[in-house]
Structure 1
């Protein structure tokens, strides 16, 4: 049974069209149930684009791109975090698994093949938290032969998981005070990237509204891993300043294959060199020294 796909859209009509068209060109597309969650406009500035997005997705039921298309339009603006949490809750209960996309992710023709095969292969491997369709430009050791690698950090750019993992998340982060008081825990959490603990701090302080950092924190608490492909099946086209939470960057560009190739899944061990290369994608030591020591730097500048 193929996993249903949940797509979250907002106010980027051009990006949404590219995301839907790429998914429609996937092998398995015509056998896949698709659920599109459209958030309502936050203000007058985005109202026009939200209407354009909804006009486009309304037309999808007239075409047989997918097995079925279900459109859920919010009457109020939920924001990305609440939209994804509630939407995934709804879809994952259908058959215990879900594949998730946002409106700025273009997929390769074998994305659905890769994601469904991975969901089937790792379902009963309880150390696996989620499947990522995206990968960074990682430097792999010469003797590393696996077509996938493992990381301490989940990915929000085209991902999949199972109901038992999703249902275990504590979205309130109720043990945050205890976590913050233990320096060893903070250091351990940052194995997935130097930005992890600072993002969680910002979430608790309500400076950001991120479902993903809470998702990653629960992964850390469960001591579980995410599967990444060596060859990316997802490209983010939204780092062009058009998104609510995205700036402009080419740092995370990925080249997608135009062919369909089945991945040979296995059970590789964590690789220290890959983990280091992965971690370095999230800033330099100097950048995060500045983040963690703002008050100290301010005092030094006064002197």
Structure 2
């Protein structure tokens, strides 16, 4: 068996989240055999200095892995540039990389899942991305893992052969889309993936993830996904640079090893429909929760001023 893939953890100014992410990874069954690389971004403003220094201290105190290397950025690269450069560095040296941000709680079996999948599909050119997160979709008639088109970025892994296809230039990506591809890319307009592309072009976001998914999609690549999520995102508490307070995507983390991996390399139609159904309902539920929130605000105002 090949050695476990290196882990890249990208952190910035959330010491509490970073500590919890590391503690969960330390409990993984392959932690002691895995190399850990912690990329600490530099402070964007003076106000961030104290929190950034706390994160660096936590990183340097980390143990429980085969090795731990802390990479401190002298300037603020931003999440996108930090991830792009860090992943490029690791896949160039090791051929693979497992990628975590500083707000992901993993199952004790998450690293095992990544490494099993990286080995299983190492020579399958069509398989370009392995996700650890899965939406809380309906579970009926779905296999333990399945192939899908979208590349979810909450805990993922890839190979150098796939990452070589990453295209950072959004204009080069967008010019390859027509009306039909845009629909398929956005899961028949149930997800705002195309809007994310437009927002990046307009400077309203700095997402590496949407450009990576577009790169995978345009190569007709597939992503491997678990039916039961192997990570939970704790960053939707308003603390992150790109996160809001949100509970739509909360999941229960799987607590057993993934044993099934598909032999047929094609998108799972049942899984596609289940994800599309969830996304359609999510739109409705978010709208209804928004209305409820407005009603609550109105009630508070009337009680206070009525």
TM-score scaled to structure 1, two decimals?
0.87
Q: Could you tell me whether the CA contact under 8 Å between 1:130 and 1:225 is conserved in 2? A: yes
TM-score scaled to structure 2, two decimals?
0.86
**1:112-145 per-position Cα deviation (integer Å, ceiling 9, x unaligned):** 1111001111111222111011111121343x4x
Equivalence for 1:297: none
Equivalence for 2:87: 88
Aligned length: 281
Equivalence for 2:166: 169
User: Could you tell me how far apart the structure 1 residues matched to 2:159 and 2:98 are?
Assistant: 9
**1:129-174 per-position Cα deviation (integer Å, ceiling 9, x unaligned):** 11011111121343x4x21022110011000000011011111134
Equivalence for 1:139: 138
1:118-129 equivalences in 2 (<5 Å)? 118-129=117-128
1:1-303 equivalences in 2 (<5 Å)? 1-60=3-62, 63=63, 65-142=64-141, 144=142, 146-176=143-173, 178-179=175-176, 182-191=178-187, 193-258=190-255, 260-267=256-263, 269-282=266-279
Decide whether aligned partners of structure 1 residues 265 and 271 sit closer, same or farther in structure 2, where only a CA change above 3 A counts.
Answer: closer
User: Could you tell me how far apart the structure 2 residues matched to 1:229 and 1:201 are?
Assistant: 29
**CA-atom RMSD in angstroms:** 2.0
Equivalence for 1:294: none
Secondary structure in structure 2 of the residue aligned to 1:235:
strand
Q: Could you tell me whether the CA contact under 8 Å between 1:148 and 1:229 is conserved in 2? A: yes
Decide whether aligned partners of structure 1 residues 36 and 138 sit closer, same or farther in structure 2, where only a CA change above 3 A counts.
Answer: same
Q: Could you tell me whether the CA contact under 8 Å between 2:167 and 2:173 is conserved in 1? A: no
Q: Could you tell me whether the CA contact under 8 Å between 1:22 and 1:106 is conserved in 2? A: yes
Q: Could you tell me whether the CA contact under 8 Å between 1:141 and 1:273 is conserved in 2? A: no
Which runs of 5 or more structure 2 residues have no equivalent in the other structure?
288-306
Mean Cα deviation higher: 275-284 or 76-85: 275-284
Equivalence for 1:301: none
Decide whether aligned partners of structure 1 residues 47 and 149 sit closer, same or farther in structure 2, where only a CA change above 3 A counts.
Answer: same
Which runs of 5 or more structure 1 residues have no equivalent in the other structure?
291-303
Measure how far apart 1:256 and its partner are.
1.6
